[in-house]
């Protein structure tokens, strides 16, 4: 379904992501960015970056399952942070979901995120 692309002609991945991923399927799932919102209450979950990141990943997992997929099918992720000081902690939690063959990834610090959260993550998965 997905092929991890690696080359020593470009910098090696320095975290839980791959240099590139080739999708061998036409059935792609584009998941909108998820924020740390409790789907039952509509309230933001967590006061720490760790709590917020775990809720974001839980929300992404639910969306992927609804589409008949899981984290093993994710080929690209984009992480938006309210501040790059959160990068290491988010990287650690996020990496726990991609133990082998992690997806391609980008991470950015942005001025603000919806509802003033600390993290938002979107993914593309192979269906």
CATH code (residue 121): 3.30.1330.40
Q: Which residue has the higher pLDDT, 68 or 22?
A: 68
What's the confidence (pLDDT) of residue 10? 64
Q: What Rg, from alpha-carbon coordinates, does the chain have?
A: 14
Cα–Cα dist 106/102, whole Å: 12
Strands 2-5 and 119-126: unpaired
- Per residue in 56-67, pLDDT tens? 999 999 988 888
Instruction: Please tell me the pTM assigned to this model.
Output: 0.85
User: Torsion over CA of 43, 47, 50 and 51, rounded to 10 degrees?
Assistant: -40
Measuring CA to CA, which residue among 75, 45, 42 is closest to residue 57? 45
Q: With cut-offs at 50, 70 and 90, classify the pLDDT of residue 27.
A: confident
pLDDT in tens, 72-92: 999 999 999 999 999 999 999
What's the domain range around 52? 2-126
What are 116-126's pLDDT values in tens digits? 999 999 999 98
What is the C-alpha separation between 18 and 76, in angstroms, rounded? 9
Mean per-residue pLDDT, 101-124: 95
Q: Are the beta carbons of 75 and 98 closer than 8 angstroms?
A: no
CB neighbours of residue 64 within 10 Å: 20
Cα angle for residues 108, 110, 115 (degrees, 5° grid): 125
The answer to which of 20-29, 75-84, 111-120 has the lowest mean pLDDT is 20-29
Cα 106 from Cα 52, distance rounded (Å): 19
How many domains does the structure of the chain reveal? 1
Output the pLDDT for position 30: 83
Token pair of 56, please? Answer: 């974001």
Question: How high does pLDDT run on average in the chain?
Answer: 89
pLDDT number for residue 25: 65
């Amino acid at each position: 379904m997905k092929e991890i692309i690696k080359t020593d002609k470009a910098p090696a991945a320095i975290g839980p992501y791959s240099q590139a991923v080739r999708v061998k399927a036409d059935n792609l799932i584009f998941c909108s960015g998820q924020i740390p919102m409790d789907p039952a209450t509509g309230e933001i979950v967590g006061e720490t970056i760790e709590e917020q990141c775990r809720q974001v990943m839980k929300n992404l997992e639910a969306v992927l399952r609804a589409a008949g997929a899981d984290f093993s099918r994710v080929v690209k992720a984009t992480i938006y942070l309210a501040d790059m000081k959160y990068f290491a902690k988010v990287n650690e939690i996020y990496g726990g979901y991609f133990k082998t063959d992690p997806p391609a990834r980008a991470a950015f610090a942005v001025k603000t995120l919806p509802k003033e959260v600390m993290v938002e993550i979107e993914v593309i998965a192979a269906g």
